[in-house]
Amino acid sequence: MPRFPLAPWKSLLTAALLCLPAVVHAEPGDRAMRDALQAARQHRWQAIDPAAIDDHVLAGYVDYHRLKARLPAAEPGEVQAFLERHGDSPLAGWMRARAISAYGEAGRYRRLLAVADGEPSGTARQCHYYTALLDEAPQTAAEGGRRLWAVGRSQPDACDPLFATLRARGEIGSGAIWERQMLAWQDGETGLARYLGRMLGDDWNTGQAAMQRLQQDYAAITRVPTCIGPDCRGSGALFAAAMHGFTRADTEAALEAWRKVAPSLTIDNARREAIERDLAFYSLVRDIDQNRGWVDGVLPRLADSDLYELRTRVALADRDWAGVIDWIARLPEAERGEARWQYWLARAHEQRGDDATAQAAYRRAAGERDFYGFAAADRLGQPYALKMASTSIAATQRQAIAESPAVRRTEALLRIGEPGLAASEWYNAAANASPQEARAMADYAQRQGWHARLVQTTIAAKLWDALEWRFPEAYREHFLRWGEVTGVDPYLLMGIARRESAYNPEALSPAGARGLMQLMPATAAEVSRRLGLDDPGPYGVLEPAVNIRLGSTYIGEMLDRYRGNRLAATAAYNAGPHRVDRWLKQAPEAFDLFVESIPFRETRHYVQAVLTYRVIFASLAQGGATRGISLLTPAEQSMRYDGSLLARN
């Protein structure tokens, strides 16, 4: 049986088919420009006809490759002139970065400083930059070099001249070498740790012996010397690295050892607090009852909002409503005022019989447009606060943005088959646009059917209330069709896609998930097999219609697994069903406590976002009205969130 009413669908589908992206038509000179850009990438300068492209809006892209090919021989003045001509394009940033790298690798440091504009991005370029400053600004070079040195991993070869000079000048001494060795040990970079150890003299032998002992047995931390290195300067780094590993390996034993050794240990407050923050975090995450008293005693001194949040969640899991009120009160004022914490404050007061205070907190929460704001509105029986801003744009603004150089370059790059460069042009312009220009760009993207660019423009410009732009009618016909076929609410599908990929059909996650609904290739292959379809492969799954069909089928299977419950199904879509099965078996019974008890922050936020987005999409479909739309069904609000939710039980 379908899981949603079908009545509105035919009219929605008809409207959706009219919302296809605009077709980009070639213009005179595009073919010559495309050929010239390909030739420039291959350094085939004789194949380029300058007269055919000089007036083209993308001529700067060929100039970029021509100048880049001449580095580091090109004069800094030529680079600066290029930067000035193309300051409104990503070409300028790319050229500056290329010039810094090329001049740095060639040791032409005066040229590097002539084109640099402060510290560049990227470790290798930063090392070149500070090497160039060794004679010009030795103190700045030393400060930058020491910061680049103080990491627990190997740095690029570009850093070698900088580090060698700073060591020769005594700016990086044995203490800094020891500190880095401890960071390398902490990060598991044993080869780097051994290499650094060979740089140290006999006065660090006690430290080396202590490290080797602790590598075999963290519990020996109470028996190793507390004074490491000359004047005990190495003690903090050793104990910080050892406690880092010990806390993760055995938090209960680590705290017991720390309480023994801490009083007699002379280390700086920053390291002491970092060790105790680690101990408190893992004690709470692992729910170690024996550590709870110590944690509650140290939290006020640490005054860490993340730890206060975690402690509040532990109180919620324990149904310690007085504790919930107390720990929320310790959050910084700005965080305490968020809908999430006002909602939980209301729930706590409600459980303690203080209805007046609870109602006031619910009202504060209900003014926000998020999961807990909507949940609070449901408690009060009032409409959701969508807070929609107008997306109307004057005709003059539309004309101005259409004629702007960045938009013209974006259009031209799309015409010649360069979508990646087009995206770079667009996002660079959005990031540097005035609020008025950003709104005009969002309007332009919407009218062109550039869904992913539209969403990213609203993010870059922080247009949080422009809901029609933030949640566009992207691929609507596919969501409607496959939602109907699979019996899944199409607005839930839209919410998942919007959260997963922000409507980028070619999105690829670090884990390998692909496309609008971020399907892993193995999942796509398995779902295809169950549907009797061929495996789409890693590229076929990027096709929007295929991706949405398979994603709709998969979330439908998750809904079947959890008796139609969208909270559990959405969590499973993100974290996997086996994890959700385990969470349900240990879960509190109420829906809000279940959501807050999800141990993965990413999944916890994901579930809240998808259900919130679903409300927004459904509201936009009826002109922004929320009548008849609910965050959760009555069953989802009232059912027990425990092992009984599993359909196979």
Tell me the catalytic residues. 500
d(CA 141, CA 120): 13
Beta bridge partners of 508: 514
- Joined tokens for residue 406: 């960045």
Positive or negative CA dihedral for 155, 158, 164, 167? negative
Answer whether 281's CB lies under 8 Å from 250's CB: no
Q: Is 406 exposed, middle or buried (0-12, 13-18, 19+ CB in 10 A)?
A: buried
The 10 Å Cβ neighbour count of residue 586 is 11
- Residue by residue, DSSP assigns 284-336 as HHTT-GGGHHHHHHHHHHH--HHHHHHHHHHHHHTT-HHHHHHHHHHS-HHHH
The 8-class DSSP code of residue 388 comes to P
Residue appearing with tokens 């609910």: 630
121 and 97 in contact (C-beta within 8 Å)? Answer: yes
> Could you tell me if 549 and 532 are in contact, meaning their C-beta atoms sit under 8 angstroms apart?
no
Q: Which residue has the tokens 């829906």?
A: 591
Which residue type sits at 515?
G
Q: Look at residues 428, 432, 454 and name the one whose alpha carbon lies nearest to residue 441.
A: 454
3-class secondary structure for 563-625? CCCHHHHHHHHHHCHHHHHHHHHCCCCCHHHHHHHCCCHHHHHHHHHHHHHHHHHHHHHCCCC
Of 552, 495, 504, 505, residue with least CA distance to 528: 552
- Both tokens of 289, joined, read 């009852």
Task: Give the CA angle between residues 95, 100, 103 to the nearest 5°.
Answer: 115
- Are the C-beta atoms of residues 615 and 599 closer than 8 Å to each other? no
Question: What are 519's strand-pairing partners?
Answer: 514
- Provide the residue type at 85 as one letter: R
Residue 103: CB atoms within 10 A of its CB come to: 26
Cβ-contact 261, 221 below 8 angstroms: yes
CB hemisphere CA count around 361 (13 angstroms): 23
Count of beta carbons in the 10 Å neighbourhood of residue 44: 12
How far, in Å, are 115, 221, 247 from residue 254 at the CA level? 51, 9, 5
Rounded CA-CA distance 450/455 in Å is 9
Sign of CA dihedral 542, 545, 550, 555: positive
> Which whole-number Å values give the CA distances from 512 to 508, 538, 553, 568, in the listed order?
6, 9, 20, 23
- Other CB atoms within a 10 A radius of the CB of residue 305 amount to 14
CA distance 52 to 477: 42
In this structure, what DSSP letter does residue 42 have? T
